[in-house]
Amino acid sequence: MRLSELLRNYQDRDSKIILAHLLGVKPSQLYLLEDRELSDSEFKRFMDMIEERGRGTPTAYLIGEWECMGRSFELRRGILVPRPETEILIEVLLGILPHSKALRGYEIGLGSGCISINLLLERKKLEMWGSDINPLALELSVKNAKRYRVDERLHVLSGRDFEPVKGQKFDFVVSNPPYIPEIMWDNLPKEVKAEGKEALIGGEKGYEFYERVSRELREHLSDEGVVAFEIGHDQGEVVKSLLEKEGFEVNIYRDYNGQDRVIVGWKY
């Protein structure tokens, strides 16, 4: 079958991403191949993947990678698929971190490593420590860091919250933690559930991570240190008051839908 014919029937974004992956090009380059005939095996692989997606497997797991800030990160089932909202967290932090200073940062919950690796690529004097409770996330973070040649500046550690960096201080702490309340799990779409409960569910209230971690922040941040968290759209006020209680000056940033999405706290 000719590619142009197939594209007429599969016009959605994910079908194009799958096709581009199979043909080894970027989705934006598919139009260059419109006259190309697909072999029977290419056509079958495409149809198999479309079916698998229909059964609830996220496209990111089918193709084994996903983009964050225009860079591709290897992914596997059970690891959070990078979201556009997380790019806001990265951008906000980049707006704060100077190029000229040698900085130390700590990320809680690396997942694919997309936050730390993007920061390291944009700030050459930065050194990051990052942790996760999921061994697969640690493995993928190392792989992705090697792919972008920042592995010497990313120290990947196993453990929860601040446990792996006891006694250490950082210039900033960043996290996109699990923040969905437990009660919402049953109603999440199948493809979201495939990302795993420990990546998504924050506890009964959803904001338990921020409650725990905010209590330990001051001792792990240098003077004038910064914390940046992604938050749920309805968690701005609660996380703001948690950080203010610990002596932080706080700013909240909104996402493309005008909802609270990122919170930054300055230690003073």
Ligand X SMILES: C[S@@+](CC[C@H](N)C(=O)[O-])C[C@H]1O[C@@H](n2cnc3c(N)ncnc32)[C@H](O)[C@@H]1O
Binding site for ligand X (CB under 6 A): 80, 82, 86, 108-112, 114-115, 131-134, 137, 160-161, 176-178, 198-199
The smaller minimum CB distance to ligand X, of residues 36 and 160, is found at 160
Q: Cβ 166 to ligand X, closest distance in Å?
A: 14
Q: Cβ 112 to ligand X, closest distance in Å?
A: 6
Q: Cβ 134 to ligand X, closest distance in Å?
A: 4
The smaller minimum CB distance to ligand X, of residues 24 and 135, is found at 135
Residue 2 is given by DSSP the state: B
Q: Which of 117, 258, 235 has its CA nearest to residue 250?
A: 235
The smaller minimum CB distance to ligand X, of residues 42 and 91, is found at 91
The smaller minimum CB distance to ligand X, of residues 38 and 140, is found at 140
Rg of the chain taking only CA atoms, in angstroms? 20
Q: What is the dihedral of CA 120, 122, 123, 128, to 10 degrees?
A: -20
Q: Cβ 170 to ligand X, closest distance in Å?
A: 15
Cα dist from 48 to 12, 15, 39, 42, 54, whole Å: 16, 12, 14, 10, 10
CA–CA dist 98, 24 (Å, integer): 37
Q: Cβ 58 to ligand X, closest distance in Å?
A: 13
CA–CA dist 140, 81 (Å, integer): 12
The smaller minimum CB distance to ligand X, of residues 74 and 198, is found at 198
